[in-house]
Copies of this chain bind each other. A is one copy, B any other.
Amino acid sequence: MNSSNIVNNSAPPNPSKSIQDERLQKQFEPTIMHEFLEGSRENSQQILRLYQQMERDPILSSSYKDYELNRLEERTKSAMRINLLSRYIEGDSPSDFHRRLNLLAVYDPSTGIRLSINLGLFVNCIKGNGTAAQYKYWCIDKETTKIKSAYGCFGMTELGHGSNVAGCETTATFDEENDEFIINTPHIGATKWWIGGALHVATHCVVYARLIVKEKDYGVKTFVVPLRDSNHDVMPGITIGDIGGKMGREGVDNGWIQFSNVKIPRFFMLQRFCKVSRNGEVELPPLQQLVYISLLGGRVMMAVDSYRISARFITIAIRYAIGRRQFKKEGGNDNGDGLESKLLDYPLHQRRLIPYLALTYAMAVGTKKLENDHAACLKEFDYAVNSNDKVTLQKAIETTKSLFIDSASLKSTCTWLAGDCITESRQACGGHGYSAYSGFGKTYADWTVQCTYEGDNSVLGMSAGKAIISNTAQVIKKNKKITGSISFLSNAKNYINDELFLKSDDDLQDLSLVLRALEVLICRLASQSMDVLQSIGDNNWDHVSYQRVLLSKLRCHHYLLQTFMSRIDTADESTKQILKDVAKTYAYTSILESFSAEFLSLNVTSPKFMNHLKSNVIPIYLKKLRSQAVALTDSFQQPDMVLNSPIGNYNGDIYENYFKVVKNANPPINTKAPYSGAIEAMLNRPSKEERERYEKSAEAAKILSN
């Protein structure tokens, strides 16, 4: 027994010491960095104040129990949170509430979207498409914007029509005799589907339906249709059902709706741009796209969400990779302390995680700009509409069009990348990443719908890519000068040759040359796509849809890199050096390496140079960031409550934290399952022969064969 006493008292792992040691090596203050990431000290302090309030609130704060809820429990919990938020919104400034909801969505995306459907989609649809009086009536006077009296949902998608909204089949037929519209679902395919909030909460719905006047179809317009009366009972003619199980977002009460000749007054049509007069004359909007303007805000927020959700999971994965040790150094000595190596000291682990860390920084900065652009655009648009000046309006419409493209490109690219980040981070946490309590599983399932809804990523990517190709074509063929965020396309003619662009280490060190290389690539790819289109000759853009999505991704990275570079100039001196390294790492990995096939096939750089980048340059930058990885993730300042993952807590005590959660969630008292009887009966069952009553025995055979 001596030996066992000696051996078995081996020291337990001490992961929290590892993470504390890392913090001692930090070269900058994470709190200062947080101000950079959030755009200003003011923003940073707002966020920290909101976090504190949420952490202390027993209804708003998260716990491991959130990972154990069934659908009804999740819907109930979400309703409790909405109820509480309806009190906060009465006192919050618009900016505080917007940010509060934004932060809540990082750990409770169901509640985030459930409320955004009302405050974002419904209200913005009325604001964007309705007259000032309509907006005032339904949103202000009814106190919808205060989550009171009325609660809206967004009736766009149908069972048979998603991305092609213009193909919706619900009808709104003008009944001139009664001065009403008749809303109708003609067949199963036109059933409104996936309508969040419709099942249990919503009192009203903005319905996208074909306007039919005097048997003429004017295309899809928007109508306010009350779903429930003031007793919260469903109105006659309206059938609402439960969509039921989903991959995630089980907290949202998605419903389906069928309308059977439901009558609404003529003035329930949203008529800011489109009107039907008493005698059925139809006035159409200046830009059909305006019908979808309410989707813009959601897309912008999804790009921002991509930053925050990536920050959450890269923080968890990097903290785990510091505390977790595995193998002693292969082919070499151990680390001097007799301990196994930290996961993050492995070059492969660095290559898996650090690029996402750098990307998250780029997304933080880039999506913040998009958020600001969007706010400015809305302001310009409102001003233009109110000033009632055609020229100003036309200008505002142009800005809005640009924003449609920018937001399409960023929403699609960033939500895809964030999904990849969650997946890679989970796999980098090995088996423990698969535990429900680590948060990856539920969050991935909740997250991934962002790639599909409010604009399918492929469809959005194609639309952004098309704009790039057609602008490039105008530059090349018509010498057009491009303005706005893609003005670099104006240089297309100089770029579409076969010259190598990135050649030396010096080129790499100058990020403006890397940005230029990306511009060259975009121009060449756009020009190549034009050629493909021309060679096929039928002007069907679908032939270059693959290239269009690719261009949209490249354009997103261009936006992020450009913004990142310009923001570094304004950063605190103490953070500039590491930020430059982060920006380079981002550019080298997420841009040059990720799209190396394209850079090579369009001869923007050479095979030799690309090999050099991958084998020599990238590993050095990964190592640079690795030394500051904990400080860089601490800079996101997400509290343990938001991370909601015991393997990613700030204190780094992964095993104790995790084991405690597992034990709390599943007290190890009962070791027999409720169904143990069946298991035991199986194990202790009599022999097959006995159970067959020995009817197949030799003895039976003898009797039966007589």
Contact = CB atoms under 8 A, between A and B. Distances in A.
Interface string A428-470: 0011011111001110110011011100111000100000000
19 contacts: A3-B213, A8-B184, A12-B186, A12-B188, A13-B189, A68-B245, A72-B674, A79-B679, A188-B656, A242-B662, A244-B666, A248-B441, A330-B541, A331-B540, A332-B540, A348-B546, A430-B456, A597-B597, A601-B611
Given A148-B685, A188-B655, A200-B671, 8 more contacts: A3-B174, A10-B169, A151-B683, A232-B683, A241-B666, A329-B542, A331-B541, A427-B457
A539 interface: yes
Interface string A676-689: 10111111110010
Given A6-B215, A597-B600, A200 B244 contact: no
Contacts of A188: 12, 655-656, 659
A305 to B, nearest CB: 17
Nearest to A5: B173
Given A13-B189, A159-B655, A212-B7, A164 B327 contact: yes
Contacts of A441: 246-248, 445
A613 to B, nearest CB: 10
Interface stretch (A82-90, A397-405, A476-484, A562-570): A82-90
A340 interface: yes
Contacts of A600: 596-597, 600-601, 607, 610
A445 to B, nearest CB: 6
Nearest to A600: B600
A427 B452 contact: yes
A72 B666 CA distance: 12
Nearest to A498: B607
A406 to B, nearest CB: 21
A375 interface: no
Contact of A186 (B8, B70, B329, B462): B8
Contacts of A151: 683
A253 interface: yes
A214 B610 CA distance: 56
Interface string A217-258: 100000000000010111000011111111110000100100
B326 A167 contact: yes
B232 A435 contact: no
Nearest to A6: B215
A52 to B, nearest CB: 23
Most chain B Cβ neighbours within 10 Å, of A194, A546, A610: A546
Contact of A655 (B160, B248, B426): B160
Interface in A90-142: 90-91
A538 interface: yes
A233 B240 CA distance: 50
A13 B193 CA distance: 15
Nearest to A183: B4
Contacts of A539: 331-332
A4 B182 contact: yes
Interface string A291-313: 00000000000000000000000
Interface in A161-210: 161-164, 167, 169, 171, 173-175, 177, 182, 184, 186-189, 191, 193-194, 199-201, 203, 210
Interface string A336-361: 00001000001110011000000000
A701 interface: no
Number of copies of this chain that the complex holds:
2
A138 to B, nearest CB: 14
Interface in A584-622: 596-597, 600-603, 607, 610-611, 614-615, 619
Nearest to A10: B186
B246 A675 contact: no
A627 to B, nearest CB: 17
A3 B182 CA distance: 10
A448 B424 CA distance: 11
Interface in A55-76: 67-68, 70, 72, 75-76
Most chain B Cβ neighbours within 10 Å, of A169, A532, A682: A682
Nearest to A685: B148
Contacts of A444: 247
Nearest to A70: B70
A668 to B, nearest CB: 3
Contacts of A187: 10-13
Contacts of A347: 542-543, 545-546
B430 A234 contact: no
Given A186-B10, A546-B347, A200 B162 contact: no
A336 to B, nearest CB: 15
A203 B331 contact: no
A215 to B, nearest CB: 4
Contacts of A656: 188
A326 B247 contact: no
A353 to B, nearest CB: 12
A1 interface: yes
A394 interface: no
Nearest to A174: B3
